[in-house]
Amino acid sequence: MFKRAKPAQLLRKPSWAQPLLEDLATNGTLIYFPGSAEFADSETNYYTAQANEVQSAAVARPHSAQEVATVLKALRRHLPDSVPIAIRGAGHATFAGAAKAENGVTVDTRGLRGIDILPGGVVRIGAGHEWLDVYTALEAHEPPLTVAGGRAGRVGVAGFLLGGGISYFSSQYGFGADSVRTWEVVLANGDIIRASREDPETADLWDALRGGSTNFGIVTAVEMACFPHPAHFRCSNLFYLYPARQATLQALVDQGSRPDLAVTHAIWAITHVAGMPFKVINVMASTTDPANCGGLDGFLNAPGRVPLVGALKERKHSHFAKQVGNLSPKDGSRTINRSISFKLNSQFLNTAVDMWYGFVESTRHVSGILNTLVFLALPTSMLQVSRDTSAPSFPDPKPTKNSQGLCPEDGPLAIMEICLTWRNADDDAFMIEKGTQFLREVKLAAKEMGLEHCYIFPNYAWPQEHVIQSYGADRLAVLRRVASRWDPDGFFQYRVIGGYKINV
């Protein structure tokens, strides 16, 4: 799908390289070309093989907001319009060009560091961190703290939050981005802005960034509300044989729809590995309820649970984030993640699993295949918190929807995610086409049952999808207005690739 650049091409510096280097020379070396260790380091360690294979012409490696501003201004001065720019975080987006500019300049934000606990229950996090760094630092505090960040530890802070972000604590605290008090962001003109809900001057930008992807600026740090690490954070990776399917799906629907279970979170997954005759169901569940089963009874008592594996244990948030990360396909796999949403309904979840078998059959011949179907719920409680956190935005003095166009009346919703992994590049097109077809068919079936929902969750979306448009026309209009205020030339819409754009 993406052309691989030839090595000879990469060693020859493009015509814009020299003026850019000279411009930046006075500010220390912030830009690197092929042949340097810094370039090689920035180009690798993406989550997918497809992303690793895209090759930038140069990478910029700033270490502060000021350096990001310097780089951005220099890129605007010297790069021809045809040369793309991308922003890289921890590299966990699951498609190739999300965070890397083919034959262009990739701004690697991983050098933006620092985790500082501020007064008032807020932590300032440099945009270049992964969530595990944050949990580890907050748990070392006395008393231990945590935040509503990514469920897998290696996911990047800014990329996760710009897509909203679903955490183990989402039922109580909304999307991860709802906990952001202040975004520090470098605008297209190089200005460094602090955008916060409480500041009427910048509240629109604060709101827009909560799911607004790469349309507004380069995030250099966030200040996020943290909370005491739950005294009892209990979690488990539960494993089941196939007959547990109906009971575990019902438990997921209960978890997503019963207000008394808002202390729990669960991810339901079924995996098919090439050559393995049986199907394994895996539920990653957590609760902050100290009582016996912590509201996870439906999962713990489901028949077909593999005994001894995955007892409910009291753990640190960091521990579970590490464990869940280890269950994901290993870094550098050929993989796609993509999702659709519909109303949470146990009959329909079972229908979707039935349809999944048709898909699995059609990909059985693909070398190294590992297919996982995932369900998770967006409970009404989560959508309520998210809506109530929204900042007033014209024409809504009291917003009825959250920053991604969702309201409590939409809930509870289900997100159905497919995670497909295979061995050979020759199978890329086939796997993408088959996965897309499966999602299309399930969406149609949801529509026929009156359960469809247009929302596309940005963190599990695919480049051709109209993610921001799925937030609805009202929200799109608000985001476009905010962009025209803070980036009047549309630099981030037209010159910066990756993410999901408001101009499509």
Contact between 99 and ligand FAD by CB under 6 A: the answer reads yes
Phi then psi for residue 422, to 5 deg, are -150, 175
Q: How far is CA 124 from the centre of its chain?
A: 20
Asked if 416 interacts with ligand FAD (CB under 6 A), we say: no
For residue 111, what is the DSSP state?
G
Query: Tokens for 326?
Result: 């280890």
Assess 84 for contact with ligand FAD (CB under 6 A). Answer: no
Name the one range near ligand FAD by CB under 6 A: 4-12, 85-93, 443-451, 467-475: 85-93
Which part of the chain contacts ligand FAD (CB under 6 A), choosing from 81-89, 241-249, 298-306, 346-354? 81-89
Interface with ligand FAD by CB under 6 A: which range of 94-102, 273-281, 378-386, 390-398? Answer: 94-102
Q: Output the CA torsion sign for 456, 462, 465, 469.
A: positive
| Residue at 78: amino acid letter | H
The string over 298-313, giving b where at least 16 C-beta atoms fall within 10 Å of a residue's C-beta and e elsewhere, is bbbebeebeeeebebe
Q: Residues 56, 94, 318, 341: which binds ligand FAD (CB under 6 A)? A: 94
197 neighbors 206 (Cβ within 8 angstroms): yes
User: What is the rounded CA–CA span in Å between residue 199 and residue 212?
Assistant: 19
Partners of 373 in the β-ladder: 270, 418
Can you tell me which of 32, 33, 39, 47 binds ligand FAD, judged by CB under 6 A? 47
Closest to 94 measured CA to CA, from 424, 417, 445, 387: 417
Please, which residue, 88 or 305, has the CB nearer to ligand FAD? 88
What residue type is assigned to position 435 of the chain?
Answer: G
Segment lying near ligand FAD (by CB under 6 A), choices 153-161, 361-369, 370-378, 446-454: 153-161
Instruction: Pick between residue 114 and residue 303 the one whose CB is nearest to ligand FAD.
Output: 114
Q: Which stretch binds ligand FAD (CB under 6 A): 56-64, 161-169, 271-279, 372-380?
A: 161-169
Rounded least distance, CB 100 to ligand FAD, Å: 8
> Of 54-62, 149-157, 371-379, 380-388, which part binds ligand FAD (CB under 6 A)?
149-157
**What is the total count of residues that contact ligand FAD (CB under 6 A)?**
33
Nearer to ligand FAD, 214 or 393 (CB): 214
- φ/ψ of 213, rounded to 5, equals 60, -140
Could you tell me which residues are beta bridge partners of residue 498? none
Report the distance separating Cα 400 and Cα 2, nearest Å: 41
Burial, 279: exposed, middle or buried (Cβ in 10 Å; 0-12, 13-18, 19+)? Answer: middle
Nearer to ligand FAD among residue 39 and residue 247 (C-beta): 39
Q: Is 9 left (phi over 0), alpha (psi -120 to 50) or beta?
A: alpha
Q: Which of 418, 415, 422, 458 is nearest to 435 (CA)?
A: 418
Please identify which residue in 148, 498, 501, 502 interacts with ligand FAD, judged by CB under 6 A: 498
14, 91, 379, 412: residue in contact with ligand FAD (rule CB under 6 A): 91
Binding flags for ligand FAD, 440-469, as an x/- string (CB under 6 A): -------------------x----------
Q: Give the whole-angstrom CA distance, residue 182 versus residue 167.
A: 19
Cβ atoms 181, 196 nearer than 8 A: yes
- Does 109 bind ligand FAD (CB under 6 A)? Our answer is yes
Q: Which stretch binds ligand FAD (CB under 6 A): 22-30, 52-60, 144-152, 380-388?
A: 144-152
What's the min distance (Å) between Cβ of 248 and ligand FAD? 19
Q: Contact with ligand FAD (CB under 6 A): which of 111, 126, 159, 212?
A: 159
Binder of ligand FAD out of 84, 126, 156, 212 (CB under 6 A):
156
SS3 472: coil
Q: Of 70, 65, 71, whose CA–CA distance to 86 is shortest?
A: 71
Binding residue for ligand FAD, selected from 61, 78, 92, 181, defined by CB under 6 A: 92
* Secondary structure (3-state) at 407: coil
What is the rounded CA–CA span in Å between residue 442 and residue 453?
12
- Contact with ligand FAD (CB under 6 A) among 21, 122, 145, 166: 166
How long, in residues, is the chain?
A: 504
Q: Which is nearer to ligand FAD, 156 or 294 (CB)?
A: 156
Helix axes 346-362, 245-257, angle to 10 degrees: 130
Nearest Cα residue to 182 out of 193, 191, 173, 174: 193
Nearer to ligand FAD, 93 or 145 (CB): 93
- Can you tell me which of 49, 60, 98, 125 binds ligand FAD, judged by CB under 6 A? 98
The answer to whether 182 contacts ligand FAD (rule: CB under 6 A) is no
What's the min distance (Å) between Cβ of 420 and ligand FAD?
A: 13
Is residue 104 involved in binding ligand FAD (CB under 6 A)?
no
Q: Which of 128, 106, 109 is nearest to 54 (CA)?
A: 106
Site residues (CB under 6 A) for ligand FAD, limited to 267-296: none
**Phi, then psi, of 240 in degrees rounded to 5:** -135, 150
Q: Does 71 bind ligand FAD (CB under 6 A)?
A: no
Interface residues for ligand FAD in 200-239 (CB under 6 A)?
214, 218-219
Conformation bin of residue 330: beta by default, left when phi > 0, alpha when psi is -120 to 50 = beta
Minimum CB–partner distance for residue 28 and ligand FAD (Å): 20
Please select the residue that binds ligand FAD; options are 165, 294, 295, 399, rule is CB under 6 A. 165
By the criterion CB under 6 A, which residues form the site for ligand FAD? 47, 86-94, 98-99, 109, 127, 150-152, 155-156, 158-160, 162-163, 165-166, 214, 218-219, 328, 459, 498-499
